[in-house]
Amino acid sequence: MVKRITISVSDEFSAKMEKVKGRVNVSEEFRKHMTHIMNYHEKLETMEGGEMEKIIERLRHQKQADLGYNETRGREKGLEWAMTADYMEIQAAMCVDFDPVTQAFSNDNTEVESINDYLADLLGEEVSLQYFTSEQNKSYYKGWQNGVFDFWDKVKDKI
């Protein structure tokens, strides 16, 4: 059994359809397209239970591994930076907070500007950082700051 339906289109679209009338079976093309769309939505709706839980668990595990890797890379870069930084820059780096929205450290201290300039240069070097989510950035920069803390813990009693 066939059921007739009506769709509304703009005048411009209708004029374009007229140009291909007779060469394109509009009903058949619409049916094919809608079949793909319906199949897609059915697949989304049926992805529940065990299959969805496995996918979620896999993605959760990958996310945690990725965040850990980002933090480790940040820690290495923080240590490298601290080894060449000025005393006041190190002090500033240890008392600032990273804002994942602005993707910069913030504090009233003027030394923070040089830290953020350094980090902007670092972003240019590590192209992949440009595509991080704010959570990934926070992980990376927290690691960076921890690298500075690690350096400071090694040298503070000797200064």
What is the pLDDT, as a whole number, of residue 92? 79
pTM: predicted TM-score of the whole model, two decimal places: 0.57
pLDDT at position 53 is: 84
Question: Strand 97-99 and strand 104-106: pairing?
Answer: antiparallel
pLDDT reported for residue 127 = 45
Q: Quick one: average pLDDT of 51-69?
A: 89
Q: What is the pLDDT of residues 103-153, one digit of tens each?
A: 566 655 555 566 666 666 665 555 455 556 677 777 888 898 899 999 999
d(CA 63, CA 84): 32
Contact present, 76 and 147 (Cβ < 8 Å)? yes
Distance, CA of 3 to CA of 51 (rounded, Å): 36
Which tokens sit at 101? 């929205």
Q: Given a cut of 80, is residue 69 above it in pLDDT?
A: yes
Cα–Cα nearest to 151, from 106, 94, 92: 94
